[in-house]
Every structure is written in C-alpha cells, then in structure tokens.
Amino acid sequence: MDEKLSIYGEREVAADYDQRWSGAGGRARDLRKQRAILRALGELRGVESVLDVPCGTGRMTAFARGRGLRYVGADLAFAMLEQARGKHGDARFVAASLAQLPFADASFDVVLCIRLMHLVRDGELRSAFLREARRVARKAVIVDYRQNRALRVWLGTARAAVGLRSRAPGALAPSVIEREIAAAGLRAARLIPVRRVPYLSDKVVVLALKD
C-alpha cells in the first residue's frame, strides 16, 4: 500500500487529521466538496441509505445524516474509526476494506467514496475498489478524483520535473476517469468540478450510475 495511505493507521496522524478542516480554508474546502456531492445526489431519486468508504474520522458523517440518510461508515484504519466514533458515537461504523466489503450485493442506495482515488497510484487497485463499490450499491457510486486539466496539477507537474517535489500529482485525464469507471461496470453520468471555475478545480466528483 502507498505510504500516503498507510500513515492513516497511525494514531498520531488520526488524532490530528481533523485540523486540516478546522480553519477557514479547511471549512471552505469541506463546503465545496459537499456542494458537489449534493449536486450528484440531486440527480438521483429515492436515496435513503449511504455507505461512506473510506469514512476516515467521519468527515461526511454529519453531512449525510443531516439529510436523513441511513448512514454506515467503513474504514480499514482503526485509528481513524476511533476518532469517528468519538465524534459520532451513535452512528454505525465498520472496520472494512473497500477491496472486500462485508455487505451483501446492493445493500446501499449510494456508495460514497471521497478522498481516496487520488492517493491510489495503481489503476488496477482503483478498478478493484470501484467494482466492489458497485457491487454493494443499488443506484450509484459517488466518487471523487483528481483530474489533470487544472492549474494546480500543471504547476505540480512542472515542480516535479525540476526536482522541487518528489513526484507529479496523481491526476488523471477526464477521459481516463470515464474509461476507468466504465471498466468497473458503471456509467460516469456527470463529472462535477469541486470549484466553480473548472480550471481551478483539480478535484471532480463523479456520479457513476449503476445502469
């Protein structure tokens, strides 16, 4: 597993994780992501339940439950789940990997997968995650990606080329994202930029339908 994923199992990292969303900038990033997710949810009808995986420290828990959705959060990192349970003690959380979820087929109306794919450099692993998310979803998977048609990605790639960062951002072309989702048996109905100006948005929220 990539180091950027494995560190989330450390208690010190999990304990400090929420600080990135606590300031004005963090709250603004949170709201932008929530708006994009709401736009995706607005395309669907009859959504009553959601699986949030990986749920981390429960960043999306109050957001989902505040909209009346039956919520389950799943994460492989016990340290992150401890933080989530401490904040949302009455919510349901499960220790589980997105590679093999402990749920029956079509258990949830929507599977929400936020802030994972851009950390996974292995395309086969991303595809395995998407297929498993599709299996337990009834209607759709809502997943975010880092896309490469953004100023931030271009600058990051240039900095990597001259040795100012260790590697280029893990961003994909929108066409590659759509093909990857299609290969998992889903249809990318919408790619929603998280920022209002698309070329300033390296993140997109994808509404992937289970036709």
Query: pTM surpassing 0.75?
Result: yes
The per-residue DSSP string of 8-54 comes to GGSHHHHHHGGGGGTSHHHHHHHHHHHHHHHHHHTT-SS--EEEESS
pLDDT per position as a tens digit, 85-134: 999 989 999 999 999 999 999 999 999 999 999 989 899 999 999 999 99
Instruction: For residue 84, give its domain range.
Output: 3-209
Residue 75 belongs to a domain with what CATH number? 3.40.50.150
Q: 15 or 65, which is more confident?
A: 65
Number of domains in the chain: 1
